[in-house]
Amino acid sequence: MDMQLNGRAAVVTGASRGIGLAVVAALAAEGVRVVAGARTVTPELVRTGAVAVPVDLSTPDGPARLMAVATSELGGDLDLLVNNVGGGDAGADQVGGFLSFTDEQWRQSFDLNLMAAVRATRAALPGLVRRRGAIVNISSNGARMPHAGPVPYTVAKAALTAFGKALAEEFGPSGVRVNTVSPGPVRTAMWESPDGYGAALAGALGLEQSQLLAALPGTVGMTTGRLVEPAEVAALVVHLASPLAGSITGADHLIDGGAVKTV
Distances (CA, A) of 77 to 37, 43, 155, 244: 16, 27, 32, 21
What pTM value is reported for the model?
Answer: 0.96
Report yes or no: 88 and 152 within 8 Å, Cβ to Cβ.
Answer: yes
Report yes or no: 37 and 20 within 8 Å, Cβ to Cβ.
Answer: no
Q: Which positions are catalytic?
A: 153
Question: Cα separation of 75 and 122, whole Å?
Answer: 19
Level-2 CATH architecture, domain 9-184+228-254: 3-Layer(aba) Sandwich (3.40)
What does the pLDDT read at residue 93? 76
Strands laid side by side in the 134-138 sheet: 51-54, 33-38, 9-13, 80-83, 134-138, 177-183, 252-255
Question: Cα separation of 190 and 211, whole Å?
Answer: 15
The DSSP string of 186-211 is BSSHHHHSTTSHHHHHHHHHT--HHH
What does the pLDDT read at residue 138? 98
What does the pLDDT read at residue 88? 64
User: Any idea where the domains of the chain sit in the sequence?
Assistant: 9-184+228-254
Q: What is the mean pLDDT of each run of 10 residues along the chain (263 residues)?
A: 96 97 98 97 97 97 98 97 86 83 95 98 98 98 91 96 98 98 94 89 92 95 98 98 98 98 92
C-alpha 103: how far from its chain's center? 24
Give me the residues paired with residue 10 across strands: 34, 80
Report yes or no: 128 and 77 within 8 Å, Cβ to Cβ.
Answer: yes
- Among 79, 100, 90, 78, smallest CA distance to 189 is for 90
What does the pLDDT read at residue 67? 98
What does the pLDDT read at residue 149? 86
Q: Name the CA radius of gyration of the chain, rounded.
A: 18
Report yes or no: 159 and 86 within 8 Å, Cβ to Cβ.
Answer: no
What does the pLDDT read at residue 90? 67
Give me the residues paired with residue 13 across strands: 37
Distances (CA, A) of 10 to 35, 164, 199, 203, 217: 6, 18, 34, 39, 33
